[in-house]
Amino acid sequence: MSAAVLALIVALLLPTPVEAHQKSVSYSKWTLVDGGAIAEVRVRWLELTSLPSVAEAAEAEGGPFDFALVFPYLQERLTLHTDAGPCEASPASAVRLPVEQGWLRAEWRVRCDGSPTRLQSRLFTSLTNHVHLSTVLGPKAVDVVLSPTAPSASLVWSDRGGGARGIASYLRLGVEHILSGWDHLAFLLLLIVVARRLREVAVLVTGFTVGHSVTLAAAALGVVVPHVRAVEATIAASILLVALENANMERMRGGGLVIAGALAIFVAAAAIGGLPAFWGLALFSGCYFALLRRASRGGRLRWVIACLFGFVHGLGFSGVLLEQELPRAELVRALFGFNLGVELGQLAVVALIWPLLQWLRGRNLDTRVVDVTSWAGAALGTFALVLRAFG
C-alpha cells in the first residue's frame, strides 16, 4: 500500500502545463500616478464569452468579438473611486498587453479628482463564485478581494490598517472558496456521515485539515508544481472512493463489479486521458479495498484517507493564490488569511451538519441517510471524474 501512496503523490506533483482552477477569478493592478492611476486587468476569455451583451455585439459584427467590444465592459464594471466620485477612464489610452493563451490582459489610464479611497468591481455578477483580486500601488501596496457579496473595498494606506485589511480580505476569500466548492463539501460530508461520535469527527476533520494545509502552503510557496487537471480529477475520485467505502459495497452483492468499474475508469484516465497520477490511484484503491476486506473495523483507516486526499484538496485550494502571482512577502500573509478562512468555513459546515446527523440517528434514519449520501456521492463523483478526466 505504501508504494501505491507514493506513486499517487509523485504523479500528482509532476510539473506539467497548468490549466485554470475551476473557480472564476479575475485580477487587476492599479498604479497611482499624478492625477489618476494606470489600471492593468487580467481576465479569462472563458468568462467573457459568458456575457450576453458581448456575445450579441459579436454576433451583430458577424464574427468573433475583439478587444474593442470587451473593453467598455471592463472599464464600466471595474472602477476606482475618490471621495468626489468615480475616476474617469480614458478609452483612448487602452492597450492590449501580451498574455498566456486563454486570457485577456488590458491596460488603461483613469483620471481622478483627488486621492483614490475605494475600489469597486461589478464584473461577472451572474457568476456567483466569481472573485476579483486586486493590488493598488499607492503610498504602500494594498491588496483587496472583491466578490458579489463584497463588491467594493476601502483603500487604507497606513501600515497597520493595510495589513489587517489584507488578512481580512483573504480570510473572507477562504470562507467563500470552501463554501462555494461543492466537491470539497461533498467529500467532507461523506467523511463524517458515518461517524458515530464527535471524537471521530474531530479526528477525520483534523486529518483532512492537516493534509490540505500542508499542500496548500507547499503549492502556494512554489515548493511543488501541481498538475491541475490531475488534481481536479483526483478530487472527484476521492468523492467516489469514500462513497463506495460508506456503502460498504465490497461486501454487497455486485459491489465487486462496481469497484472494478471504478478502477477501470482510473486506468482509462491514466492511459487515455493522459493523467499518470491515476496509475497510482488505481493501485492505491485496489490495495485499500483489499485491506478493508481484511480489517475488522475499516473505520480506523478513514483518517488515513482523510489526510491523503486532504493533500490533493489542498493542491486544489492553492489555485486561487497561484494565479494571483503575489510577491513572497504578501503571499505569506495571504496564505495565512486564506487558510484560516478555509478552516473557519469548514468548521461552520461541520457545526451545521453534525447536529442534523445526530437528530436523524436518534430517529433510526442513519442507515438510510448513509445509503442515500453514498449512492448520490458515487454518482456525483463518477460524473465529475469522467468530465474532468476526459472533458
**C-alpha grid cell, residue 35:** 492625477
pLDDT of residue 137: 86
pLDDT of residue 57: 55
Question: Across-strand partners of 218?
Answer: none
Q: Which has the closest alpha carbon to 80: 9, 148, 154?
A: 154
Positions in the chain whose pLDDT score sits under 70: 1-23, 53-68, 157-166, 249-257, 295-300, 320-329, 391
Amino acid, single-letter form, for residue 148? P
pLDDT of residue 264: 84
Size (the chain), residues = 391
Phi-psi region of 294 (alpha: psi -120 to 50; beta: other; left: phi over 0): alpha
pLDDT of residue 121: 94
pLDDT of residue 4: 46
pLDDT of residue 66: 59
Phi-psi region of 276 (alpha: psi -120 to 50; beta: other; left: phi over 0): alpha
Biggest CA pair distance of the chain: 75
**C-alpha grid cell, residue 56:** 450579441
pTM (2 decimals)?
0.67
Per DSSP, the three-state class of 148 is coil
